[in-house]
Amino acid sequence: MEFGNKIFELRKKENLSQEELAEKLDVSRQTISKWELGETNPNIEQAKKLAKIFKISLDELTGNSLEMKIIDKVTSTERFSRIIVGLSIVTTVFSSIIIIFFVLFIVTSVDYFKTKPISQNIMFSCYLPDSNEKFDYDIKYSTGEEQKIIDVTGKEVVPFDEYDNANDLDKDITDYYVLLGGRCGQ
């Protein structure tokens, strides 16, 4: 608290007018007014008399008391603690939001790739021995949790509908032509 305000507060607390306080200090009412407005300050002798009139120490009057310093330190510490707690809360909330978005991203990404199969093709041609005839095969299949054959074009040499795996079907068709002395390739 400013020194002039301190004198004003103490004077009001003691129910003294500016004139009454001036008489006790042997100064003019205008001097008291100037002190309270912060235009001037009492000298050390006048300050000692003020402290005696208000029944407080000179340190308390000037705001240098240990109690006031402790109160100021505690107030500053409380303010700092509130800032730290506020920052901690903001950091925790921000971190939680980031973690939630990360988890949601992972969950939706995994779900996206599970439910959306990718379509692929295995294309190859096979030839029989002593023949100019070419047999083209196009095995369309999807990848996902398990391979699933979507469509097969070409001469049916093995029952296509019995296969779940495109690579196994490709191998059996190739083995069939090799068994007959033919060959297959891309």
**Per-residue pLDDT for the chain (186 aa), expressed as one digit of tens each?**
588 888 899 999 999 999 999 999 999 999 999 999 989 999 999 999 999 999 998 888 887 756 666 666 778 888 888 899 889 999 999 999 999 988 888 877 765 555 566 778 888 999 888 877 888 898 888 876 667 777 787 888 878 878 878 888 888 899 988 998 888 987
Compute the 3-state secondary structure of the chain and give helix, strand, coil in percent, each to the nearest 5. 60, 15, 25
User: Structure pTM?
Assistant: 0.37
Q: Supply the pLDDT for residue 163.
A: 81
Q: 81, 60, 61: which is closest to 70 by C-alpha? A: 60
Q: Are 182 and 129 in contact (CB under 8 A)?
A: yes
Give the max Cα distance, the chain: 137
* Residues 6 or more apart whose Cβ sits within 8 Å of residue 62: 3, 47
pLDDT of 145: 65
Question: HSE-up of 132 (CA within 13 Å, CB side)?
Answer: 0
Question: What per-residue confidence (pLDDT) applies to 43?
Answer: 92
Would you state the pLDDT for residue 34? 94
